[in-house]
Amino acid sequence: MIEAPGGAAPDQPSSETLRLRAVLAGIDRTEVRRQRGIVFCLSGLAASIALKVLAAVANSGPACFVSFGGDLLLLSGLCFLALAALRLIPSFMRADVAVEADALVLRRENGVATRRIPFAEITQGHWEDPDRLILGLRSREILVVRTRDEAAASRVLALAHLTPGERVLRAGLPTAASMFPFGSALASGGLAILFPTLLALTLALGGSIQKFLHHPRHPGEVALALALVASGVGAGFALLRLLRRRELVVGTDGVVFRKAFGETRLRHADIRSVSKHPRGLQLELTEGGARVFIPTIAALQGNLRYESAVPTLEETGRDALVERIEGTRRAERGAGIPEASLDRLDRRGRSIPEWREDLRELARPGAGYRHTAMGPSDLGALIEDASAPAERRIAAAVILGTNDRDEARTRVRIAASATADDDLRAALEQAAEGEIAEEALRRRVL
């Protein structure tokens, strides 16, 4: 049920109260546990190695005892990773979900507010058929609201500025280890075995350093112990990467598939079609008919159906991703600036300093953009135009920022919220301040 008391106008969300009554709401903390586990593992591993080496070199019993604090931190990390691997289903409670001013408020049936979530803390959101509103929070928690009122859920997304044209979507994908039968168990077991092995190697390294300090004639033993410890640390890092959830980022500028090692970036113009796959979704590219497969389920899970009267949770998640990509590709884009004027923004082989100075020259009154059909509104539209080349969007931000820094920052903030490419987002933010991020351009932003 949805109600908007007080006759609030649809175009004035700040004064509107939108309420979904008697829905089921729950918090999924799987990603919080996973991230906490990785941080604890890396911190504990570094602390354990450093403290044990120092304790062995100093030959100090108390220091050796303190070093076991790093081991406890590492064990805590492994426990968090184990909890994340279980993917516990969030416990749902019956509650009212209301949009009040600039926040989402959860209230129990007795009217007591259990949580207030400001819109600024909601980083993304989308609808999954048939009855799930998914909201991602800055804390990496995921709020799941179960309701049959899709219209009300869409209104919540609009009020929170979470529509495809306003906010990027970040979808968690199965880990690389889970792509193989029992891969997650094997990787977790590898970490469990690696822990005592690294403990022994670290103690051996400390003893070798202590021996070398007293008799500096045989450095080979220290070098061997150091190489073994470094190999163990590298293996631990690789295993943690395999256990880390991959991510699919969908923005108005394109799609980014972040894998365990590396990432794939695609502009929407590079994608010919998006289709469902029994194991996830598939992108067919315009060039050469190549295909990019993006898995959304683990190896031991059954194949997904293309159509179903009662879809599973995994099927609704896959279908929502396909719809989101298609929706952003269908979005109407394009700034109304003549091509002859746009050509003046292109870098065309100039060095970064030369290009920046030429753009600032264009921004000067009487010498630049006002006489080439590029007004502030046109430049702002170009900054937000996800279909435009990255260099032109950056150039537009530099020119607009030179004359109206506040307007440039506002336009860039809108564009950055819906941008999938982190490098492009950083480059636009710097351009609004009148600078050009050479490093981002070198990495070939979308």
Provide the pLDDT for residue 292.
Answer: 94
What pTM was computed for the model? 0.70
In whole numbers, what is the pLDDT of the chain averaged over residues? 80
In 15-149, where does DSSP find H-type helix? Answer: 30-58, 61-86
> In terms of domains, do 260 and 197 share one?
no
Provide the pLDDT for residue 374.
Answer: 65
Helix (H, G, I), strand (E, B) or coil at 106: strand
Return the closest-CA partner of residue 133 out of 111, 103, 101, 155: 155
Summarised one tens digit per residue, pLDDT across range 118-135 is 988 888 888 887 788 889
CATH number (domain holding residue 116):
2.30.29.30
> In terms of domains, do 395 and 345 share one?
yes
> In terms of domains, do 78 and 193 share one?
yes
Counting the structural domains of the chain, the total is 4
> In terms of domains, do 277 and 298 share one?
yes
Provide the pLDDT for residue 274.
Answer: 93
Summarised one tens digit per residue, pLDDT across range 354-397 is 888 888 888 776 555 544 556 778 888 888 888 788 888 888 88
Domain end, chosen from 243, 263, 289, is at: 243
> In terms of domains, do 127 and 261 share one?
no
Summarised one tens digit per residue, pLDDT across range 53-88 is 777 666 666 666 666 777 777 778 777 777 776 665
Summarised one tens digit per residue, pLDDT across range 19-42 is 787 688 888 888 888 788 888 877
> In terms of domains, do 159 and 200 share one?
no
Distance CA 25, CA 40 (A): 30
> In terms of domains, do 65 and 183 share one?
yes
Provide the pLDDT for residue 284.
Answer: 93
Highest mean pLDDT among 172-186, 319-333, 356-370: 172-186
Domain end, chosen from 219, 243, 267, is at: 243
> In terms of domains, do 116 and 25 share one?
yes
Helix (H, G, I), strand (E, B) or coil at 387: coil
Q: Give the mean model confidence (pLDDT) for residues 316-337.
A: 76
Distance CA 206, CA 358 (A): 59
Distance CA 95, CA 113 (A): 9
Provide the pLDDT for residue 2.
Answer: 35
Provide the pLDDT for residue 329.
Answer: 80
Summarised one tens digit per residue, pLDDT across range 396-423 is 888 888 888 888 888 888 888 888 888 8
Q: Give the mean model confidence (pLDDT) for residues 208-231.
A: 82
Distance CA 248, CA 373 (A): 38
Provide the pLDDT for residue 222.
Answer: 83
Domain end, chosen from 194, 211, 243, is at: 243
> In terms of domains, do 364 and 266 share one?
no
Distance CA 362, CA 381 (A): 18
> In terms of domains, do 190 and 82 share one?
yes
Domain extent, residue 77, equals: 31-86+179-243
Backbone dihedral region for residue 108 (phi beyond 0: left; psi -120 to 50: alpha; all else: beta): beta
Summarised one tens digit per residue, pLDDT across range 288-312 is 889 999 999 999 888 999 887 778 8
> In terms of domains, do 132 and 277 share one?
no
Q: Between the CA of residue 356 and those of 335, 415, 418, what are the distances in Å? A: 22, 21, 25
Q: Place 275 in a pLDDT band, splitting at 50, 70 and 90.
A: very high
> In terms of domains, do 268 and 316 share one?
yes
CA count, 13 A, side-chain hemisphere, 432:
20
Provide the pLDDT for residue 83.
Answer: 72
Count, in order, helices (H) and strands (E) of the chain: 13, 15
Distance CA 126, CA 164 (A): 9
Least confident interval from 110-119, 217-226, 359-368:
359-368
